[in-house]
Amino acid sequence: KGNERDRRPTDEEIEKLVRYFRGNNLQIIPVHKIIRFAIATAMRLGEICNATWEDLNERNNTLLLRDRKDPRHKKGNHMRIPLLSVSGYDARAIIEEQRYDTGGEGRIFPYNGRSAGHAFRRACRELKIEDLHFHDLRHEGTSRLFEAGFTMGQVAMVTGHKDWKMLRRYTHLRPEQLHTIAARLQHA
């Protein structure tokens, strides 16, 4: 059993990272967009860097993830996920920003995932953000979906988790967010 992490970045840490990458003219990879997209979609870095324009269904506002990671099946795990805007970031708007950069052909984020991950780690070191891994953004995105009020089944449609036990490992709710959910339920 792997080490279970419960590290969620703070809003300040996310903002520091986004500002860092936006302000770095030498950085070719738009890591600030990839960070925001990872939180909006709860996708893995490799999934983000492999998604193509052909996989985008604009009419249904979904993205097809090909051969999504599954411990039991290595191939044929295609999954269509919704592009939502409930996490504080709008996944579809970020994709549209990329259309300008890529011309809408090939991969949406045509970058090497390892290079993006290395840039992320380097930024965390320079900004003195301790113990934050890129994969923690997937946990953050998953937690934000629950905090937005989605059910377990709905969150699993986004994250691709097959059972609650695995999905629970990715869910780290902040107690203060329950007030927001409770207020929303009272006004519904």
Give the catalytic positions in this structure: 44, 74, 135, 138, 161, 170
Full strand arrangement of the beta sheet holding 56-57? 56-57, 62-65, 79-82
Backbone angles phi, psi at 161, to 5 degrees: -70, 140
Cβ atoms within 10 Å of 86's Cβ, excluding its own = 16
Quick one: tokens of 153? 């089944």
Task: For residue 134, give every residue at least 6 positions away whose Cβ sits within 8 Å of its Cβ, in sequence order, or none.
Answer: 38, 45, 116, 117, 120, 121
* DSSP one-letter string for 153-166: HHHHHHH---SHHH
H/E run at residue 177: helix 177-186
What span, in angstroms and rounded, lies between the C-alpha atoms of 6 and 139? 8
